[in-house]
């Protein structure tokens, strides 16, 4: 009897230690003025007993490679760190986490060199409909909701007993297999899954004091949605403000001087700070103008 109980406990521990990884194909139209330009990104939804995490596979791989490179440089020459971003850093920079059992939800986003942790103050309110559909290998049922400034249609399956889904969506009687907004601008479809007995863990990156990077590293700033909206508007109005402030703070310290370099569209390298900032501001505003169709319009307006 004792052996049976012990075996059962070991089995429970093994199951609890597993991470269920679900692969979603995320299709999105970043520019509402160019609906033919449809982007694709492989997203991962990792679910374990404590909660879930939804993020870009390409960004995770690129960030992990960059972090390993920085750690190597820190050991060999800590006073001279050269950061080179990878060719495929991922098109989707945000990450969403949910903590069980109450599904406390956070959105992680970066603005320039600042990392923000934004607590979600609303939950999806679903209307479950009688329509059913076979999507891939799953028997699914239809549900709709209004969330983040968009109308969404979801298809969920009770074959997978997780009341979770991609992005901030959860609360249906099974896993969301597919979800799409009414305009067809954003859709997420489950295309595969696997169990991971030894889940990949992101190691906490330790960098020298004073070093900050665009899009990764740095201390997370926990804010409300209103506070993030204010920070985003300030960034849109002045994209290089943070970098100018960093240069002013460190410019007088010869041992910790910040050097900015960039290349123009024709490949010419420039290092004069004023020219660098003008080029970066021009480039950032061009990118922002072509990314005017966010997944949550309410988060930026």
Over residues 244-277, the pLDDT tens digits come to: 776 666 554 445 555 566 666 666 676 667 777 7
Which pLDDT score, from 0 to 100, does residue 15 have? Answer: 44
177 versus 114: the higher-pLDDT residue is 177
- Kindly report, residue by residue over 5-50, the tens digit of the pLDDT: 433 333 343 445 689 999 999 999 999 999 999 999 999 999 999 9
Q: For the chain, what is the mean pLDDT? A: 80
pLDDT of residue 261: 61
Share of the chain above pLDDT 90, in %: 52
Which pLDDT band, with edges at 50, 70 and 90, does 192 fall under? very high
CA distance 233 to 220: 19
For residue 292, is pLDDT > 60?
A: yes
Residues 64-96 pLDDT 10s: 665 655 566 556 665 555 555 555 567 899 999
Question: What is the Cβ-side half-sphere exposure of residue 186, based on CA atoms within 13 angstroms?
Answer: 21
52: which 2 tokens?
């879930």
- How many Cα atoms are found within 13 Å in the side-chain-facing hemisphere of 127? 8
Q: What whole-number distance in Å separates Cα of residue 260 and Cα of residue 147?
A: 40
Q: CA–CA separation, 104 vs 59, rounded Å?
A: 24
What is the number of other CB atoms lying within 10 angstroms of the CB of residue 19? Answer: 18
Gyration radius of the chain over CA positions:
22
Determine the pLDDT at residue 276. Answer: 74
Contact assessment for residue 164 and residue 123, using Cβ atoms and an 8 Å cutoff: no
Q: In whole angstroms, what is the distance from residue 193 CA to residue 162 CA?
A: 13
Please name the residue that has the structure tokens 């942790």: 117
User: For 197, which DSSP code?
Assistant: S
């Amino acid at each position: 009897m004792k052996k049976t109980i012990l075996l059962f406990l070991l089995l429970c521990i093994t199951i609890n230690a597993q991470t269920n990884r679900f692969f979603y194909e995320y299709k999105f139209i970043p520019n509402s003025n160019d609906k033919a330009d449809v982007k694709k990104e492989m997203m991962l939804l990792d679910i374990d007993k404590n909660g879930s995490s939804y993020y870009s596979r390409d960004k995770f791989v690129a960030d992990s490679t960059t972090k390993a490179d920085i750690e190597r440089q820190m050991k060999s020459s800590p006073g001279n760190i050269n950061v080179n971003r990878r060719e495929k850093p991922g098109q989707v920079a945000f990450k969403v986490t949910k903590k069980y059992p109450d599904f406390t939800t956070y959105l992680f986003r970066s603005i320039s060199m600042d990392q923000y942790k934004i607590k979600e103050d609303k939950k999806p309110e679903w209307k479950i409909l009688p329509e059913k559909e076979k999507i891939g290998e799953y028997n699914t049922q239809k549900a709709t909701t209004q969330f983040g400034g968009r109308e969404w249609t979801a298809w969920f399956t009770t074959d997978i007993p997780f009341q979770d889904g991609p992005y901030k969506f959860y609360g249906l009687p099974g896993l969301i297999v597919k979800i799409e907004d009414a305009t067809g601008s954003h859709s997420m479809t489950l295309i595969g899954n696997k169990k991971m007995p030894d889940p990949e863990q992101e190691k906490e990156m330790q960098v020298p004091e004073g070093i900050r990077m665009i899009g990764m590293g740095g201390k997370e700033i926990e804010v409300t949605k209103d506070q993030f909206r204010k920070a985003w508007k300030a960034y849109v109005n002045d994209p290089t403000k943070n970098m100018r402030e960093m240069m002013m703070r460190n410019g007088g310290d010869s041992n910790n001087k910040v050097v900015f370099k960039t290349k123009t569209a024709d490949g010419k390298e420039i290092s004069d700070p004023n020219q660098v900032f003008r080029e970066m501001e021009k480039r950032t505003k061009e990118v922002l103008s072509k990314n005017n169709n966010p997944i949550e319009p309410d988060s930026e307006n």
